[in-house]
Amino acid sequence: MEQFDKDLRSIQEARDLVKAGEVATKKIATFNNEQIDHILQYMKEAAEEHAAELAEMAVVETGFGKAKDKTYKNHAAATLLYEQIKDQKTIGVIAEDKANGTFDVAAPVGLIMGIVPSTNPTSTTIFKAMIAIKSRNAIIFAPHPAATKCTNKAAEILNDAAVAAGAPEGIIGCVSTPTMASTNELMHAKDVALIIATGGPGMVKAAYSAGKPAIGVGAGNSPAYIEASADVKAAVARIIASKTFDNGTICASEQSIVCEESNKNEVISELKRQGGYFMTPEETQKVCKVLFRPGTHAMSAKYVGRSPQVIAAGAGIGIPEGTKVLIGAQDGVGEGNPLSFEKLTTVLAFYVVKDWQEACDLSINLLQNGIGHTMSIHTNNHDMVLRFAAKPASRILVNTGGSQGGTGLSTGLPISFTLGCGTFGGSSVSENVSPKHLLNVKKVAYGMKDVTTLAEDDPTFNYKEAGCANGKCDAMMPPKPLQASSAELKNTLSAKQEDASNAELAEVVRKLLLAMNDK
């Protein structure tokens, strides 16, 4: 194969992976609960054993984030996820409704293609492999070119562990030479049944355009609203902990802080005390110049997941020692306010509003640049939570950090590194993606009514105009004329009045005749 160019080699590799994956898919579809759980335990233990190694590889290869935080994300995608999903029913009868005579039977969707981003490469690979095996599917990964080595290593570790536990060969595959050609080959391979796309908007759009089912997740632009009743010290601590977690590479991380005039001074003071540096307008302009690609609102890869010190040095500004996040005041949303867009790094926009209504409007405007994803509110007012639950975000997080809360690490949400944005953001799901999204659920339904007398036995059905009387329908009765003359109608009504033994019915008929005469 050495004589062929990179694209051709990558296409051939993709085809070979699909062929092996399809065979593995058919075999694992016959496995029982005990076999699947045994495989998952091996995968969990292997991922846990190599969590730190994979995290370090990811930081070295991509330059994004922190090894310690990536290690914890690997742990979450392996051990914490396993504990959460181990008892979920994904095989055979998974639900039953005896009252309505139905039950649900789960079946795997088939061979899955998993697109992996450079921001969270190893944790996303572990996560998708775990939920794929839990639902009895094989999976092939298409890594981001900037995270090829660490993604392949993660897939190799998981595949070796799965096979050692009894899974078929080829159950977890990964393209070693990723190109647009190989990704396109996988997307359009007839044996790939489903695509899970985690990455940039272009890649997600391509996945949805492949002509097969896909689960894609869009960009986030989460505002964090510190409402008047909030514990400001605690709120700021949560936001700082979230935005500095892996240097803001999780798309559920906060992008803007919104506070009110009533607590503005307290919020600013607390942010400064906890490591926030408020940039001057000139410094903000310099940071934005290096943070975003020229003429766009897309981030420069050079500053994704970087510390404030790296960003400040690149922008040529000085910041105090111990700075954890850079904060820039913004006057509005959109053009002229670049920090109102997504920033997967340690930079936050800052807004001050008059009251909660203005915070509501601002949050909606901010979410337009990351619609359907996540927003957070810090408050001790439950009614305020209910008001903000109407915002166009699939995750409304209360009194927690966006990075940890959105991924289910600090909330009761399913632990996930693929966060659906719903139809708001052009996604097919609005939930945190989990094993249930990788299942075909078949409905078995017993007959509950006699189909031969369905209409006659239905007490809510009364259709005398169609020739039915006393619940019995005469299908042979000729249709009535669509219209009748006034004289014919009067004669018919008079006859009914004469025959009526019920005085009340006679009175109704009399009134009808009087009404017709009046006309």
C-alpha distances out from residue 7 to 72, 225, 242, 459, Å: 35, 47, 40, 68
Q: In the numeric block, which tokens belong to residue 124?
A: 């996303």
CA angle 264, 282, 251 (to 5 degrees): 65
Q: Where does 2-144 have alpha helices with state H?
A: 6-28, 33-49, 51-62, 67-75, 81-85, 121-134
Rounded to whole angstroms, the Cα distance separating 116 from 124 reads 6
Rounded to whole angstroms, the Cα distance separating 62 from 150 reads 9
Other CB atoms within 10 Å distance of the CB of residue 279: 22
Contact 149, 57 (CB under 8 A): yes
Q: In the numeric block, which tokens belong to residue 461?
A: 């059905």
What is the DSSP-derived secondary structure letter of residue 337? B
Contact 292, 299 (CB under 8 A): yes
Q: Which of 417, 387, 386, 411 is nearest to 399 (CA)?
A: 411
C-alpha distances out from residue 128 to 8, 383, 428, Å: 27, 37, 17
HEC profile for 481-508?
CCCCCHHHHHHHHHHHHHHCCCHHHHHH
Is 473 annotated in the active site?
no
C-alpha distances out from residue 190 to 135, 136, 194, Å: 20, 19, 10
Contact 79, 40 (CB under 8 A): no
Catalytic residue, chosen from 150, 174, 251, 259, is: 251
Q: Which residues contact 471 (CB under 8 A, 6 or more apart)?
A: 456
Q: Which of 255, 204, 152, 224 is nearest to 400 (CA)?
A: 224
Placement of tokens 């009340």 in the chain: 504
Contact 77, 414 (CB under 8 A): no
Active site residues: 251
